[in-house]
Amino acid sequence: MNRSLTIIIILLSLSLSMCKSSTTGSEPPNAPGELARDGSSVILSYGGTEILTLETDIPPSAFTVKELKEERNGMVSHIFTISSVSGGRMTITGTIRAGKESFTCEADRRIEGTQVIRHTYGPSHSLLNRAVYDRQSDWLLSADQSYTSASLKIVPLAADSSGMTYSLSMTGNEVTFRFRPRYYQVHRGLRYFEPWKYEVWKEPVAGWCSWFAYKTAITEENVREAADVVAETMLPYGLDYLQIDDGYQQSGGKPEAWITPNEKFPSGLDSLASYISSKGLKPGIWTNVAVHDSAWVSAHREWFVRDGSGMPANGRWIGYILNGAEPAMLDSVITPVYSRFRETGWSYFKLDALRHLLFEGYNSHSGFFLNGSAEREEAFRNVVQRVREETGRDNFLLACWGVLPGVVGLADGCRIGNDGYGYTALAQYNSFNNVVWRNDPDHIELTPQEAYRSCMATSLTGSLFMVTDKPQVYHTDLIIPAQKSLPVLFTMPGQVFDLDPSRSANLNRTLTEMSGSGERESDGSRTSPFDLFMLEMNLPWERWCVLGRLGEKEKEISLGELGLEQGKEYLLYEFWSDTFLGTVTDKIVFDKPDPQYNCQLYCIRPAQPNPQVLATSRHISCGAADLSDVEWEAGVLSGASRPVASDPYTLLIHEPSGYGSPVVTAAGGNIISQIVEGKVRRIRMESQDGSLISWKIDYASVTPK
């Protein structure tokens, strides 16, 4: 088996085991580190473990170390500065040791330059990184931005069973480090973020949702037709969930109304789950926490929040308010529904109306709760916790809707905006994605105006990817951007701050909101000043990046602002229009997007002196999802590709001047054609069954041009 494929299989196996685990480690202290000097070395320890070891190239007497430890409202900061006494330059090298879920990133917004929403697939090597975040222990170690330490560089070195090691180097006369324990939990205000107790869902989550396609008019026949079409047109590409939304249940909200569907679903939900599964898809189901059956509520008053007269209280959108502080309610209302759904094969759960339970329910009837906001939030979490327990950690739970800190640690995903897709929210909560939970920008509609833009932004950020069209749409060309954006790779954010903080800065308002109607201050909004999304690819055989441009605000961007090496030569290719744009060494100047796509996707690869892969036609990553074991050796470029069965696949090779026409061979598939346009060779291949195609492009046995 080839090395890259082996690594991918190991990572997928590890992800499966991780997503089923609820406990991953011990609780770290909310305390500063311990700083020590030993000759020319500086060592930072935390929780009894050395996490930073630095070595200077000047004598101990030639530099100073100043230290500050501070605590404000539970936020601990440990700052230390290393300075050259003479003001002359010094070189500092060292290592950072962090947990297995750690990653390199930017810790603070850059002082100047064009801002880009960054995500990474594999350990990031970006020159923009000035920090390491350890998710499992929730600490952040960063170096301040400074012209005196502009050369600072952090590079991932190696991983083992206990964690990751990074190298650090800088040249300058001074550098300031900041250590922030409990970064997301305290500094970012997410009190329930305890990552030592849970891991984020690492499998791709991509599927079809019935809501915008059919709304409440959905029928069993609609769902079966959708399963047939989705299994044919998108399952081979990586979309494997099918979720029914509002419209299948009976009215009222009592358990029987959920378990036994209405007359539009005559075969029952058990049968429907089996049918969806028979197509190779994973069944998903929508529920909410609203109750409207007054007779049933009257018979079980103790299960509901009550008003001053002792009668069950009522709130807009939520109806009668389930009392999450009452164990009998959880046992009698929550458990029967979700345990039944899990037993009958449903594996994706969308839990809706949560904001209404908290806002119109608990916050609007605060007098019912004797201990104020703490008890209200505890009651709220009890409801979600019971759903989590009954659905199981091996099934996906989506909290809907709005950003609710109370679901942190319980839900695998959270819908971060209002009804309807909004890619701008992905710039407002970019730091949450795949650290706190998986962001859900809501369902994608494959329209001529938005299909390419929405699919691209969702996939580049590694977010929840759900389409919601009537099945006939998937027999048109509008399906192409979805197919090219699937599968969704598991990404990590390149920044642990929100590039647009205008919404996340208001998260503390969720315990004082009393209306969940429309957009709230903490919800992802429809507008944002940022529309450049970057995904770095870091594979064993090559590192490159792709840049998605969703608007026309920015007219150009320097390579340095992308974290690339200024002055180095890079190949530039636009994916949607399939256009090689030549090479760049300084900056990328954007042209106007083609209205057919309404966006652009640039693949940026370090240029090599020999023939190299430029891109593939399969996926917007330009090779990360389908290529493995790419190698140039002794005049032969070789590798392996995994296309979709019976789907023509194009391998694009950049050939510098001086190389003649090579001999191209492939095993496991057929070569359909070869076309050379300038310096780009397009090799079209196909595999009837989707098998791996091992290919070789031999330049060694031909006469150079």
Write down the pLDDT at residue 288.
Answer: 97
> Which pLDDT tens digit goes with each residue over 491-550?
999 999 999 999 999 999 999 999 999 888 999 998 889 999 999 999 999 999 999 999
pLDDT at residue 209 tops 60: yes
What's the rounded mean pLDDT across residues 301-321? 95
Q: How far apart are the two ends of the chain, measured CA to CA in Å?
A: 36
pLDDT at 146 (0 to 100): 79
Q: Do 264 and 302 sit in the same domain of this protein?
A: yes
| Per-residue pLDDT at 703 | 62
Q: Which domain range does residue 630 map to?
A: 617-705
Verify that 160 and 219 share a domain, yes or no: no
Final residue of a structural domain among 511, 539, 563: 511
In a domain, 556, yes or no: no
The candidate with the shortest Cα–Cα distance to 297, out of 337, 327, 329, is: 329
At 25, is the pLDDT very low, low, confident or very high (cuts 50, 70, 90)?
A: confident
Residue 294 covered by a domain: yes
pLDDT tens for 569-588 read 999 999 999 999 999 999 99
Examine the domain organization and report whether 48 and 93 are in the same domain: yes
**β-pair type (314-315, 542-549):** unpaired
Question: What is the rounded average pLDDT of the residues 458-463?
Answer: 98
On whether residue 170 sits in a domain, the answer given is yes
Residue 86 in domain:
yes
Whether residues 265 and 318 fall in one domain: yes
User: What's the pLDDT band for 8 if we cut at 50, 70, 90?
Assistant: very low
Q: Is beta strand 636-641 parallel, antiparallel or unpaired with respect to 693-698? A: antiparallel
- If asked whether residues 474 and 501 sit together in one domain, one would say yes
- CATH value at residue 688: 2.60.40
Q: Given a cut of 60, is residue 9 above it in pLDDT?
A: no
CATH number at residue 225: 3.20.20.70
What per-residue confidence (pLDDT) applies to 18? Answer: 38
User: Residue 21: its pLDDT value, please?
Assistant: 44
Which pLDDT score is estimated for 150? 63
Provide the pLDDT for residue 14: 36
**Statement to judge: residues 433 and 296 lie in one domain:** yes
Residue 13 has pLDDT above 80, yes or no: no
- What pLDDT is attached to residue 24? 62
Amino acid at residue number 285? I
Cα 491–Cα 492–Cα 497 angle in degrees, nearest 5: 140
Residues 283 and 419 in one domain: yes
In a domain, 502, yes or no: yes
Please give the backbone phi and psi of residue 196, each rounded to the nearest 5 degrees, phi first: -75, -5
* Measured distance CA(502)–CA(294) in Å, rounded: 41
Give the model's pLDDT for residue 370.
Answer: 87
pLDDT of 151 higher than 90 = no
**Domain count of the fold of the chain:** 3
Last residue of a domain, one of 140, 157, 187: 187
Mean of pLDDT values over 11-35: 66
Q: Are 175 and 213 found together in one domain?
A: no
Tokens of 637: 């470029």
Report which of 492, 620, 490 is spatially closest to residue 204, judged by C-alpha positions.
490
Q: Are residues 368 and 475 in the same domain?
A: yes
Contact 240, 207 (CB under 8 A): yes
- Strands in 63-72's sheet, in edge-to-edge order, are 63-72, 75-84, 174-181, 139-143, 131-134, 103-105
Residue 66, pLDDT > 90, answer: yes
Using pLDDT thresholds of 50, 70 and 90, give the confidence band for residue 383. very high
Average pLDDT over residues 600-627: 98
Tell me the pLDDT of the chain averaged across its residues: 94
Mean pLDDT value across residues 198-202: 96
Q: Which of 511, 540, 572 is the last residue of a domain?
A: 511
At 669 the pLDDT is: 95
Task: Give the C-alpha separation, 418 to 524, whole Å.
Answer: 7
- Are 462 and 313 contained in the same domain? yes
Same domain, 271 and 182: no
Distance CA 37, CA 262 (A): 71
* pLDDT tops 80 at residue 16: no
Q: What is the pLDDT of residue 20?
A: 45
pTM above 0.75, yes or no: yes
8 Å CB contact between 276 and 225? no
The reply to whether 117 falls in a domain is no
Asked whether residue 385 falls in the same domain as residue 294, the answer is yes
Q: 462 in a domain, yes or no?
A: yes
pLDDT of residue 241: 98
CB 473 within 8 A of CB 479: yes
In a domain, 172, yes or no: yes
Q: What is the 3-state secondary structure (H, E, C) of 274-315?
A: HHHHHCCCEEEEEEECCECCHHHHHHCHHHECECCCCCECEE
